[in-house]
Amino acid sequence: MTVELVANQGLPPVADKVENAPLAVRGMTVSYGQKPVVFSVDMTVAEGSMTAIVGPNGAGKSTLLKAALGIVKPLSGQTMVFGQPLPGQRHRIAYVPQRASVDWDFPTRVIDVVLMGLYRELGLLKRVRQPHLDKAMACLERVGMTDFSDRQIGQLSGGQQQRVFLARALAQGADLYLLDEPFAGVDAATEKAIIAVLKGLREEGKTVVAVHHDLATVPEYFDRVFMINTSKIAEGTVAEVFTAENLNKTYGGRLATGQIDQLDLVTG
């Protein structure tokens, strides 16, 4: 035991794994004005896992994700991606923002939105050619939206819009997928389609992290869970940490006991 500790510079043996985690957030604090929304959060996402970030409204779920990606400027804290600092690793990350964060009357078509996922490849000047279009169409195919490629995005239903956003992320060909409330306001068919795509990504060895608000589907959809209410409450496999006790800590009594009883929880 001692020998092992020395070999790892005094850190526990899991440290090796942590160091190359797809996403490792350390000491992340974000505040709007004088009130921290996220306070000193550490988060380590396991490779090849599907992680749900859960917590009550305003608990900093989305903010944590945005701060980790540098979309929101944190007060302190850092992000490591696959063991490297974030700036050089952005090509390995695909981000799906909340659907409500954009203006859907924007003059753009479905296929154009998916092509935005290829901008890194296209650079400033390269023309969009057939291979790019084929790639974009293949991504639309995976989310079942090929028939809509020429539509203006405002003509889509909420679920269809969410699928288009997912297709754009797929086009990026990333290793780590971060999604902000991908199931918010979508129909049941879309929810099924999205979860199928995400599980497909996990089977390819990709890592998926999603801000999620429906506790009932956590055990079915995800294998790991990260519970937050301004600071971290718990982090680990669903089997270990998705317990009534942790939920109570996270939601602070805002969940009725009846609701908790209905969840497919680990008991004992």
Partner 1 sequence: MLWEAIFLQLGYNATLVTIGACFLGIAAGVTGTFLFLRKRSLVSDAISHATLPGVALAFIVMVSLGGDGRNLIGLLLGSALSAGFGLLCVSWLTRQTRLAEDAAIGSVLSVFFGFGIVLLTVIQSMSSGRQAGLEGFLLGSTAGMLWSDAVVIAVGGALTLAVVLVLRRPMGLVAFDPEFAAANGMNVTRIDLTIMALAMAVTVVGLKIVGLILIVAMLIIPPVSARFWTDRTDRVTLLAGITGGVSGYVGAALSAAAPSVPTGPIIVLVSFAIFAVSLFFAPTRGVLAAVLRHLKFQHRVHMRQGLLALAQGQPIYEKLTLRLLLHAGLARADGVPTETGRARAAKALRDEKRWEVVRTDQAFEGAAALYDGLREIETVLTEDQIGEVDRRIGGPQGVVA
In the β-sheet with 93-96, what is the strand arrangement from edge to edge? Answer: 93-96, 176-180, 207-211, 50-54, 224-229, 231-237
Q: Which of 197, 216, 165 is nearest to 52 (CA)?
A: 216
Q: Where on the chain is the footprint of partner 1 (CB under 8 A)?
A: 66, 69-71, 87, 90, 93, 95, 97, 101-103, 106-109, 112-113, 116, 119-120, 122, 124-125, 152, 154, 168, 178
CB of 108 to partner 1, least distance (A): 5
Residue with smaller CB distance to partner 1, 17 or 192: 192
Smallest distance, partner 1 to C-beta of residue 209, A:
13
Nearest distance in Å: CB 195, partner 1: 19
Report the residue number, 7 or 189, with the smaller CB distance to partner 1.
189
Which pair of structure tokens corresponds to residue 45?
A: 């996402």
Tokens for 234? 């718990």
Spacing of C-alpha 93 from chain mean position: 10
Residue among 60, 68, 44 nearest 207 (CA): 44
CB of 227 vs partner 1, minimal distance in Å: 24
Residue 180 in contact with residue 98, Cβ under 8 Å?
yes
> Which residues does residue 224 pair with via DSSP β-bridges, in sequence order?
51, 237
The smaller minimum CB distance to partner 1, of residues 22 and 97, is found at 97
Q: Which CB sits closer to partner 1, 164 or 247?
A: 164
- Closer CB to partner 1, residue 55 or residue 117? 117
Write out the E strands in 86-135.
93-96
Q: Please, what is the minimum distance in Å from the beta carbon of residue 79 to partner 1?
A: 12
Q: Hey, which residues does 210 pair with through a beta bridge?
A: 52, 179
